[in-house]
């Protein structure tokens, strides 16, 4: 099993996360932010990752620190669980429809973190969560995981559908990318022979 646990403790947040990349979609998530919990549950269920997230943050200020730090910690857990990335498929993509919405996610587990975010919202909040924080989570997660990540909402009207399709998209794309390719199970998927920060 490719699994890892990461703790992140600062003056702003205290977070412990764990992930099993070869799981069954089981989750136990508690961040104090209801909508973020819901999205992390989508990541687990549709990626077939077992995820535990326990977070306490300075929510009396706003949700920014908790959202970002959960993304960092969970990304670092993915990075740790991947190890030397030997045998992984490396690339993944998904088109996710949700009623009137269609979103596309493409990613590369290259250890070269980058985010392209082409997602716009027409509301400032979903539940109590600022919609601008979703980009912060995806960026923190991508950089923690060593992932090149492109997220685009192609069209859609309902803001809940838009962001949920993005989380389901990254779940399905990661599910493909972390899968061990039986034809190259002992090889790092790079002509460099390593995925430690280079193509």
Residue 84 lies in a domain: yes
The tally of domains found in the chain comes to 1
Strands 50-57 and 91-98: unpaired
> Which pLDDT score is estimated for 183?
83
Residue span of the structural domain in which 19 resides: 3-184
Residue 162 lies in a domain: yes
> Which pLDDT score is estimated for 18?
98
Residue 184 DSSP one-character state? G
pLDDT in tens, 33-89: 999 999 999 999 999 999 999 999 999 999 999 999 999 999 999 999 999 999 999
| CATH number, domain containing residue 84 | 3.30.230.40
Residue 193 lies in a domain: no
Q: What is the pTM of this model?
A: 0.94
The list of the chain residues with pLDDT below 70 reads 185, 187, 189-191, 193, 195-199
Residue 27 lies in a domain: yes
Residue 197 lies in a domain: no
Residue 191 lies in a domain: no
Residue 199 lies in a domain: no
> Which pLDDT score is estimated for 199?
47
In what helix (H) or strand (E) does residue 124 lie, and over which residues does it extend? Answer: none
Give the span between the Cα atoms of 113 and 144, in whole angstroms. 8
Nearest to 139 by CA among 171, 166, 116, 110: 116
- Count of C-beta atoms within a 10 Å radius of residue 135: 15
Residue 120 lies in a domain: yes
Nearest to 119 by CA among 141, 98, 150, 92: 150
């Amino acid at each position: 099993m490719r699994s890892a646990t990461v703790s992140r403790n600062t003056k702003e947040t205290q977070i412990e996360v764990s992930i099993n990349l070869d799981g069954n979609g089981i989750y136990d998530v508690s961040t104090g932010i209801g909508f973020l919990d819901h999205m992390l549950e989508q990541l687990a269920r549709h990626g077939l990752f077992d995820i535990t997230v326990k977070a306490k943050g300075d929510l009396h200020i706003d949700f920014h620190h908790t959202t970002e730090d959960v993304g960092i910690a969970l990304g670092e857990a993915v990075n740790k669980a991947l190890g030397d990335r030997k045998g992984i498929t490396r690339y993944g993509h998904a088109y996710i429809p949700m009623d009137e919405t269609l979103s596309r996610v493409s990613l590369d587990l290259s250890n070269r973190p980058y985010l392209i975010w082409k997602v716009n919202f027409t509301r400032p909040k979903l539940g109590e969560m600022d919609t601008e924080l979703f980009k912060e989570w995806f960026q923190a997660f991508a950089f923690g995981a060593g992932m090149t990540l492109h997220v685009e909402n192609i069209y859609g009207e309902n803001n809940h559908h838009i962001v949920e399709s993005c989380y389901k998209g990254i779940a399905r794309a990661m599910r493909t990318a972390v899968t061990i390719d039986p034809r190259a199970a002992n090889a790092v998927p790079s002509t460099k022979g390593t995925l430690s920060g280079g193509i």
